[in-house]
Amino acid sequence: MDDYPALSVFWSMLWFFLWIMWLFLLFKIITDIFRDHEMSGWGKAGWLIFVIVLPFLGVLVYVIARGKSMTQRDVKAAQQSEAAFQDYIRQTAGAAPAGGAGADELAKLADLKARGVLSEEEFQQAKTKLLT
């Protein structure tokens, strides 16, 4: 390893990681160009050509010109995804299992029976009705 000193290894690794970070940014920008619904088709084509033909300059100019709106689109997409996920959880948790009522209904019936509101016979009838 005498012909490749430690400082050269450091600089090589630094440039490699900077190149990888730039690639991630490039793909993020290309994704953002296609995700922007407010930009016209010609605008998307222009930015895409600029970013592909002059990649370093194109990425730099795009981040300067549209970085704030890029962040807003990311936040909006994350909020929509979270809302859809929460809605899915509410629908799934609130749905009764196939073939009968949920455990909540049975728990309510058991509570009514324990408080003396329902007799054993009424409890069994309601339970049978829920489970069929």
Under the banding of pLDDT at 50, 70 and 90, the label for residue 99 is very low
- Alpha carbon dihedral 39, 41, 44, 45, in 10-degree steps, equals -160
Assess if residue 124 is contained within a domain. yes
37 lies in the same domain as 89:
yes
Q: Is it the case that residue 17 has pLDDT exceeding 90? A: yes
pLDDT value of residue 2: 62
Q: Is it the case that residue 104 has pLDDT exceeding 80? A: no
pLDDT value of residue 102: 62
The domain in which residue 122 lies consists of 98-132
- How far apart CA 96 and CA 7 sit, in angstroms, is 65
Q: What is the mean pLDDT of the chain?
A: 86
Under the banding of pLDDT at 50, 70 and 90, the label for residue 53 is very high
State the average pLDDT over residues 75-93: 88
Structural domains counted in the chain: 2
51 and 29 Cβ atoms separated by less than 8 Å: yes
Assess if residue 50 is contained within a domain. yes
Assess if residue 1 is contained within a domain. no
Check residues 94 and 129 and name the one with the higher pLDDT.
Answer: 129
